[in-house]
Amino acid sequence: MRAAVFALALLAHASIAAAVEDDERPSPFEERPTAMFLHAGIGAPLGFGGVEVEHAVLPVWTLSSGVGLGAASLQAAAMTRLRLGGDWSRAEIGATHRWPSGFSMRYFVGYGRVVAGDFSCEEPAVDACLANHPNDGRELLYTGFGVGGSF
């Protein structure tokens, strides 16, 4: 775990240094506003694995949607992200980076709440479960990463 945190910190440092050197060039988010990611996650909005398409509506604002496979079935998500700090975006706690070549990656940790469906109650005890544990399984922490390309 420490090695992963160190690697992500090193990547962030290198990318910020590169962004400072390239202040006059257009951002890769402006040159290539649309990206497609393959995601892997734990409890993530797109499940254990999924596909997401993201589009930069403005240089600092993106919209995305995707589908993935969760614990019980397919799931879908739609998100918006406000990017702060040059080429880095912050939505949950994490970042997205796009290189001029088009290669893109994202890593994230977040907090979510199930808004449709029931995450933890199953037959035959659904009524008792909902009466005694109305919020169990509805709120969770999640993490994941994605890699892809922008165009």
d(CA 88, CA 94): 9
Planar angle of CA 73, 78, 79, nearest 5 degrees: 130
pLDDT of 66: 95
pLDDT of 146: 93
Grouping H, G, I as helix, E, B as strand and the rest as coil, residue 39 is strand
pLDDT of 88: 45
Question: 């499940």: which residue's tokens?
Answer: 47
Q: What is the dihedral of CA 40, 41, 47, 53, to 10 degrees?
A: -50
Q: E strand or H helix at 149, and its extent?
A: strand 139-150
Model's pTM, two decimal places?
A: 0.61
> 1: number of CA atoms within 13 Å, CB side?
0
All domains in the chain, ordered by first residue: 2-150 (2.40.128)
H-state helical runs in the chain? 2-21, 28-31, 126-132
Grouping H, G, I as helix, E, B as strand and the rest as coil, residue 97 is strand
pLDDT one digit per residue (tens) for the chain, 151 residues: 566 555 555 555 555 544 445 557 787 888 889 999 999 998 888 889 999 999 999 878 889 999 999 888 898 988 888 776 544 433 467 888 888 899 999 888 887 766 555 555 666 766 776 676 666 556 777 889 999 999 8
